[in-house]
Amino acid sequence: MSFKILPIFRKIISVAIYNYILADDGGRALGEMLKKNQELKKLLLSSNLLGDSGVTYLADALTVNTGLSMLLLADNPFGDEGGWKMADVLCRSNRSLQVLDIHGTRMTKQAEKQVSSNVGLASSSMGVCLQPLPYTNKEKKFF
């Protein structure tokens, strides 16, 4: 599986990849793309086997990316390590992300609560979703 094509897409504003086996290599490729694409607003990556390393790559990219407003990471197997890294980046250096969906991961309930409260301190308008997000019935389009 090759992810080398991802960095050339610099003007895309929304990417949705569901139920695909991106794993940590895909997380690395998407992280590199995020560093170059400031136009991207929504990155929907639910159910892609992203582990702690994959989420860490995405988090590192958010230290540079100031355009992303929605990141859905639901139903991926990352745990507390990936969640803490994401929370740390969002608290310290990224103010653009408004929605982070981490429900259905392997994070402990205690870590989910702590991530939610830590991130909430960084931006009062940011929502951390611990439950599935609402969508319109037929199209399954978020918001």
pLDDT, tens digit (0-9, with 9 covering 90-100), for 51-72: 999 999 999 999 999 999 999 9
pTM over 0.85? The answer is no
**pLDDT band at 142; cut points 50, 70, 90:** very low
Name, in order, each residue with C-beta under 8 angstroms of 138's C-beta and a sequence gap of 6 or more.
none
pLDDT in tens, 83-114: 989 888 888 888 788 888 888 899 988 888 77
In the chain, domain spans: 11-129
For the domain made up of 11-129, give the CATH fold.
3.80.10
At a CB cut-off of 8 Å and minimum separation 6, what does 139 contact?
none
**How many other CB atoms are found less than 10 A from the CB of residue 91?**
16
Highest mean pLDDT among 12-26, 44-58, 112-126: 44-58
